[in-house]
Amino acid sequence: MRFLAILATIAFLVLPAAAQAQGRDGETNFVVTVKAKDAKFVGTAMGGAQVIIRDRRSGDILVQGRTYGGTGDTKKIMDGDLKRDAVLVDENTAKFQFSMEIIEPIPVTISATGPLDQPQASATVSEDTILIPGKDYTQGNGIMLELPGFAVDILDPPANSSAKLDPEKPVPILVNVLKMCGCHIAPGSPWPLERYDVEVRIYKDDIFVTSAGLKYADKPGAYSHNIKIPLPGTYRLIVTAFDRVTKEAGMDATSFTLTE
């Protein structure tokens, strides 16, 4: 009896550490975070990111859900002297949390798509891994995926808008450019103006017409340009953003008509 009591005591002492990885009824707890490349986490402010975990052997979806929460601590995340394996998240950082019973190791593909509130900018990133019973997937940054790109949103001209042609009056172009987490490009921020190229290209009937660089419009994330178009017609406008360092890019497109 004394031997059994000692075993029970040992099991009780070990349980709190194991419980971090194990949920109820032997389920394994998971945390998945989605970080914008060279920026913060994709959370509620941008609609979050959709996370899907598939069994690589069958293609079946094992679990799916959305990241919820904040973008995280700017100073902690964007510190230029980050050490290897630095923990970037805190209790308020956006994440997708779930529990799942794992009987044997499972080869999976974990994918994240977002930001969900900017569908024109939505991108998908994925990684393959093995989920192993009893392992801890909640500590540190959890399973962290990194989403590249920009959320580019053309505000003016509106889609399918029409205006009377005036060769002397330029067409105003106004766009909003964000990192995928919703972080603004702005002077004095971790995302300085001089690092990024924001440009517009205009086409008519799939024929290239002209291009120009957009300038910062004195408001975080805002870029503008006025461009003259000499002939009537329907034009397609594509705006791109490009990071010269990471080689990330984003785009949005619209169309407008100039009538005689």
User: What is residue 80's predicted lDDT score, i.e. its pLDDT?
Assistant: 80
Question: Which amino acid would we find at residue 9?
Answer: T
Which residues on neighbouring strands pair with residue 118, listed in sequence order?
A: none
- In the structure encoding, which two tokens stand for residue 259, read together? 């009538």
- In order along its 260 residues, the chain shows pLDDT tens digits of 343 333 333 333 333 334 445 555 679 999 999 999 999 999 999 999 999 999 999 999 999 999 999 999 999 999 888 889 999 999 999 999 999 999 999 999 999 999 999 999 999 999 999 999 999 999 999 999 999 999 999 999 999 999 999 888 899 999 999 999 999 999 999 999 999 999 999 999 889 999 999 999 999 999 999 999 989 999 999 999 999 999 999 999 999 999 98
CA distance 60 to 221: 40
Range(s) for CATH 2.60.40.1220 in the chain?
150-259
- For the chain, the C-alpha Rg in angstroms (whole number) is 24
At the topology level of CATH, where does 150-259 sit? Answer: Immunoglobulin-like (2.60.40)
Which residues on neighbouring strands pair with residue 257, listed in sequence order?
A: 162, 234
Q: Flag whether the pTM goes above 0.75.
A: yes
User: What is residue 6's predicted lDDT score, i.e. its pLDDT?
Assistant: 37
Question: Which amino acid would we find at residue 150?
Answer: F
Domain covering 27-147: architecture: Sandwich (2.60)
Contact yes or no for 234/256 (Cβ under 8 A): yes
